[in-house]
């Protein structure tokens, strides 16, 4: 199972309306981010946070945790309660302290046997493809060995962010190392890191660096990035924002101001003539104020440098 491109799972950001917006504009697959296996097993109502919807296509669910058997039990519950989920993902790359403190995320890179155990337990528990999302290790040898071990446990594909956990989002993603992994394993490799357009992603695929590509931060700024278009004017962004608000109302039932602000600020960042609109949106305290701020034009505002 390989899709041409993926929207990266981003905690507290890639919710159902945003995933639907990106899929509308060309994302082949998306993923519910950072679902805690421990939380699901502690309180079965936590499964409600897995907002997979039948309108989505090729949607995955990303589990985070530090116990292989618990991850397997959580995978079984998701497969039973979320029939529209298409694949599962093990988060073995997130560098945040909140993710690492439970033994998950990039903490798993120090205990590869746990990753291998998670792949096996999740495959046994759920009849869904299982993938692993990692960051690169200390060197190429360590990273390739990890990916070979993941393949040996019959994972369906590997997603690699080409930075170490210590890098965060600084520096450049190591695409040469991603390519070395692709050349060393027989399962699909999805490359992630510094892809700012579908043209970049397609070039990486065509040049043999990866089998598919994943876009994260660039999609936060421009959800239409997957279809080869670029929203680079205020009207383009406001059109995307209107689409998002309609999806928010449809799939969440109401207008959610903090979420709408977060999406608007990211989409308008760096867009010429958008700074005052962005500032007004940040100050909005209601749906009406948000809409007024969005619709007010700034023809006399000079272009940003």
- The tens digit of pLDDT for each residue in 111-168 reads 999 999 999 999 999 999 999 999 999 899 999 999 999 999 999 999 999 999 999 9
Of 178, 207, 227, the domain-final residue: 227
Of 227, 253, 286, the domain-final residue: 227
Q: Are residues 210 and 261 in the same domain?
A: no
* Residue 5 phi, psi dihedral angles, 5° rounding: -145, 160
* Residue 115 phi, psi dihedral angles, 5° rounding: -60, -45
Q: Tell me, what's the pLDDT at 96?
A: 95
Contact indicator for 279, 272 with CB cutoff of 8 Å: no
H and E: helices and strands count for the chain: 13, 8
The answer to whether position 50 is within a domain reads yes
210 is catalytic: no
Q: Are residues 19 and 97 in the same domain?
A: yes
Can you point out the beta strands (E) in 65-172? 87-92, 130-135, 157-161
The answer to whether position 247 is within a domain reads yes
- Computed on alpha carbons and rounded to an integer, the radius of gyration of the chain in Å comes to 20
Percent of the chain with pLDDT over 70: 97
Q: Are residues 239 and 220 in the same domain?
A: no
| Structure-model confidence comparison of residues 31 and 1, the more confident one | 31
The answer to whether position 141 is within a domain reads yes
Angstrom CA distances, 67 to 79, 146, 152, 297, stand at 18, 18, 19, 53
Which residues are 32's β-sheet partners? 61
Q: Are residues 134 and 211 in the same domain?
A: yes
Q: Say yes or no to pLDDT of 300 above 80.
A: no
The answer to whether position 131 is within a domain reads yes
Q: Specify the CATH number for the domain of residue 217.
A: 3.20.20.70
Q: Are residues 145 and 204 in the same domain?
A: yes
Q: Are residues 221 and 238 in the same domain?
A: no
Taking CA 60 as the corner, what is the angle to CA 268 and CA 153, rounded to the nearest 5 degrees?
A: 130
Q: Say yes or no to pLDDT of 286 above 60.
A: yes
Q: Are residues 14 and 31 in the same domain?
A: yes
Q: Say yes or no to pLDDT of 301 above 50.
A: no
Q: What is the average pLDDT value for the chain, to the nearest integer?
A: 94
Q: Pairing state of beta strands 5-7 and 30-36?
A: unpaired
The answer to whether position 301 is within a domain reads no
Q: Say yes or no to pLDDT of 303 above 80.
A: no
Q: Say yes or no to pLDDT of 305 above 60.
A: no
The Cα 107–Cα 112 span in angstroms is 10
Average pLDDT, integer, range 43-60 = 93
Q: Are residues 50 and 188 in the same domain?
A: yes
The answer to whether position 18 is within a domain reads yes
Angstrom CA distances, 125 to 42, 73, 78, 134, stand at 18, 7, 10, 22
Tokens for 132, please give them: 């692993």
Q: Are residues 281 and 171 in the same domain?
A: no
Q: Tell me, what's the pLDDT at 44?
A: 83
The answer to whether position 304 is within a domain reads no
Number of domains in the chain: 2
The answer to whether position 305 is within a domain reads no
Q: Which of 94, 147, 227, 282 is catalytic?
A: 94
Q: Are residues 161 and 245 in the same domain?
A: no
Q: Are residues 220 and 239 in the same domain?
A: no
What separation, in Å, do the N-terminal and C-terminal C-alpha atoms of the chain show?
A: 44
**What residues make up the domain containing 290?**
234-295
Q: Say yes or no to pLDDT of 2 above 80.
A: no
Tell me which H or E stretch contains 121. Answer: helix 112-125
Of 227, 246, 265, the domain-final residue: 227
Average pLDDT, integer, range 53-81 = 97
Q: Are residues 134 and 64 in the same domain?
A: yes
């Amino acid at each position: 199972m390989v899709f041409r491109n993926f929207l990266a799972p981003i905690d507290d950001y890639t919710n159902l309306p945003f995933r639907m917006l990106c899929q509308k504009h060309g994302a082949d697959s998306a993923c519910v981010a950072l679902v805690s296996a421990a939380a699901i097993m502690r309180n079965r109502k936590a499964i409600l946070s897995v907002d997979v919807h039948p309108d989505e296509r090729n949607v995955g669910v990303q589990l985070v945790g530090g116990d292989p058997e618990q991850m397997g039990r959580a995978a079984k519950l998701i497969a039973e309660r979320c029939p529209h989920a298409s694949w599962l993902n093990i988060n073995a790359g997130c560098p945040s302290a909140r993710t690492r403190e439970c033994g998950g995320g990039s903490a798993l890179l120090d205990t590869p046997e746990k990753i291998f155990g998670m792949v096996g337990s999740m495959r046994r528990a759920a009849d869904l493809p299982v993938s692993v999302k990692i960051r690169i290790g200390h060197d190429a040898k360590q990273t390739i060995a990890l990916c070979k071990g993941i393949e040996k446990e019959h994972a369906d594909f590997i997603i690699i962010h080409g930075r170490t956990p210590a890098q965060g989002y600084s520096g450049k993603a190591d695409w040469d190392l991603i390519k070395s992994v692709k050349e060393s394993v027989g399962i699909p490799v999805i490359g992630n890191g510094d892809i700012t357009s579908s043209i970049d992603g397609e070039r990486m695929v065509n040049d043999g660096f990866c089998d598919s590509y994943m876009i994260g931060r660039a999609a936060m700024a421009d959800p239409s990035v997957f279809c080869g278009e670029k929203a680079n004017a205020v009207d383009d962004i406001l059109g995307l924002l209107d689409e998002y608000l309609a999806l928010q109302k449809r799939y969440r039932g109401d207008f959610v101001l903090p979420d709408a602000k977060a999406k608007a600020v990211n989409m308008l960042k760096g867009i010429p003539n958008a700074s005052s609109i962005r500032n007004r949106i940040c100050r909005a305290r209601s749906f009406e104020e948000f809409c007024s701020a969005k619709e007010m034009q700034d023809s006399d505002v000079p272009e940003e440098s």
